[in-house]
Amino acid sequence: MVKNAIFVVPQRLKIDIMIKATVNGKSGFAINLDKKLTCDNQDVDYSAVKLPSGDYSVIMNGYSYQAQILKVDKESKTLVIQINQQQFEVAIEEPIDQLLASMGIKDAMARKVNDIKAPMPGLVLKVLVSPGQAIKKGDPVLILEAMKMENIFKATSDAVVKAIKVSERTAVEKNEVLIVLE
| Tens digit of pLDDT at every position of the chain (182 positions) | 344 454 554 444 444 567 888 888 886 777 776 656 777 778 888 888 999 998 999 898 889 999 999 998 887 788 999 998 899 998 888 877 777 777 766 655 555 567 889 888 999 999 999 999 999 988 999 999 988 889 899 888 888 999 999 999 999 999 999 999 98
Give the pLDDT score at 165: 95
pLDDT of residue 111: 53
The DSSP code sequence of 92-134 is EE-HHHHHHHHTT-GGGGSPPP--EE-SSSEEEEEE---TT-E
Residue 112, pLDDT score: 59
Please state, in angstroms and rounded to a whole number, the distance separating the CA atoms of residues 158 and 164: 17
CB 93: neighbour CB atoms within 10 A? 19
Domains of the chain: 18-109 (3.30.700.30), 116-181 (2.40.50.100)
Q: So what's the pLDDT on residue 102? A: 74
Q: Taking the complete model, does pTM exceed 0.75, yes or no? A: no
* 157 burial level (CB within 10 Å; 0-12, 13-18, 19+): middle
pLDDT for res 67? 92
144 strand-pairing partners:
124, 151
